[in-house]
Amino acid sequence: MSYSKSGFDRKAIGRWVGCVLLCWNTGTAWADYDLATQAYAAGDFTTALDEYRQLADDGLAQAQYDLGIMLINGEGTAVDAPAAARWFEAAAKQGHTAAQYNIGVIKLRGLGVPQDFSGAFRWFSAVASPQQPSACYNLALLYEQGKGTKASAGQARHWFQVAADAGHRDAQYNLGQMYYEGVGGPADVEQAVAWFRAAAAQGSPEAQYNLAGLYYMGAGVEQDFVEAAAWYRKAAEQGDALAQFNLGRMYRFGEGIDEDMQLAASWYEKAARQGDAYALNNLAYMTFNGLGVKEDRVLALALFTLADAAGNANAEMALELLRPQMGRDEQERAEQIAATWIEGDGR
C-alpha cells in the first residue's frame, strides 16, 4: 500500500467563530469589545489592537484570543509569536476552546515558544471532541508517534476514528491505513476501502492512490481495472508520483483503458521527473525503443543511469548491456543530461 500521512494539522490557527467561552460579560466590556470587533472588520487594525489589548489585560478571554490572532498574523503590528502564545495560553486557561487548540499547535510547532510535545498533548487532549476534529487528529498522531505521551496504536486509532467520523480527510485516510494493516485493532479491508473512499472523495491523493490499488488487486472490492485507472488518474493529476507511474503502466498495457504508448510515456515522465525509480527505468526502456516517444539512445542511457542511482535493479542490468554499445562522446552527453534532467533542465 501507500505511505502513511503523518503531517500534523497546522491550518487552524485562525479566527474561529461560534466556539468561544467568555470569562465575564459586563455591559462596558461588551461595548468595548464591539468597538474592537467593528474596528477589526473595517480594517482599522491599530484601533482594534489597542482595544483588544486593554480588554485582554482586564482578563476577557475572547479578547485575549483575538489579540493572539492579530499578533500571530502581524495585523496592526509586527508578527510577535511569543506574545501571541502568551495570550492564547491565557485564554486557554479560562476554557476558550479555540485558544486551547491554537496553543496546542503553537507548542507542537515551537512557534515563539520551545517545542513542547507534552504541552501540545495536554492542550489537544483538553479540546479533543467531535466538534474539534483537528485536535483529535493531532492527538491521534501524537499517540501514534509517541510524542508527548506513551505511544499507543489503540488510542491513535480511537482518535483517528473520532476525527474521521467528523469528516477530517487526513484522519479518514490514516484510519483506512490502520484498518488495512491491522494496526491498533483488527484488520478489516472493507472498512479500509470505506475510509479510503471517504478521504478520496474529499480529494486526498494518498487515499485515491490506495483506493486505486485495492480496485486493481480486488482487495475488499471486486477487481475493476476501469475503477483503478479512474482513481489513479485523480491522484496522478494532483501530482502523486506513484499514481502517475501506475497510470502510465495501465496505458502501456491497456488495463482498464485503451493502450496508448504516448500517454504511457507522458505519465512515466511526470513520475520520473519526481525521481521515481520505476518510472525512470520504464521511460528509459520506451525511449531506447522509440515506444510513444522519439527513439533516443543517449537520453535512454541518461534515464537508465538515473534509475540505477535511484535503486532500480533492472536499470543496473540495462546499463551493463547498453554502455559497451555506446561511444565515449555519447556517454558523456548522457552524463550531462542525467545531471539536470530530474529538475526539468534536461531534454
Q: Which three cell numbers stand for residue 313?
A: 535493479
Per-residue model confidence (pLDDT) at position 25: 43
Last residue within a domain, chosen from 206, 238, 270: 238
SS3 7: coil
Give CA–CA dist 283/201, Å, rounded.
31
Rounded to whole angstroms, how far apart are CA atoms 251 and 268?
10
Specify the DSSP class assigned to residue 5.
Answer: P
100 shares its domain with 218 = no
306 belongs to a structural domain: no
One domain for residues 172 and 110: no
Residue 45 lies in a domain: yes
Q: Is residue 160 part of a domain?
A: yes
pLDDT in tens, the chain (347 residues): 433 444 554 444 333 322 333 333 445 566 789 999 999 999 999 999 999 999 999 999 999 999 999 999 999 999 999 999 999 999 999 999 999 999 999 999 999 899 999 999 999 999 999 999 999 999 999 999 999 999 999 999 999 999 999 999 999 999 999 999 999 999 999 999 999 999 999 999 999 999 999 999 999 999 999 999 999 999 999 999 999 999 999 999 999 999 999 999 999 999 999 999 999 999 999 999 999 999 999 999 999 999 999 999 999 999 999 999 999 999 999 999 999 997 664 45
Residues 123 and 5 in one domain: yes
pLDDT at 177: 97
Query: Could you give the angle at the alpha carbon of 193 between the alpha carbons of 216 and 279, nearest 5°?
Result: 40
Q: What is the CATH number of the domain that holds 213?
A: 1.25.40.10
Q: Is there a single domain that holds both residue 81 and residue 155?
A: no
**pLDDT the model gives residue 16:** 32
Are residue 188 and residue 233 in the same domain, yes or no? yes
Q: Residue 309 falls within a domain, yes or no?
A: no
Residue 3 cell numbers, joined: 505511505
DSSP state of 20: -
Please state the domain count of the chain: 2
How long is the chain?
A: 347
- 141's grid cell: 498522531
Question: For residue 130, what pLDDT is reported?
Answer: 97
Cα–Cα distance for residue pair 121/264, rounded to 1 Å: 46
Alpha carbon distance 132, 166 (integer Å) = 8
pLDDT of residue 342: 77
Residue 310 lies in a domain: no
Name residue, grid cell 478520496: 200
pTM of the predicted structure, to 2 decimals: 0.86
Domain range for residue 212? 150-238
pLDDT of 29: 61
Look at residue 129 and give its three-state secondary structure. strand
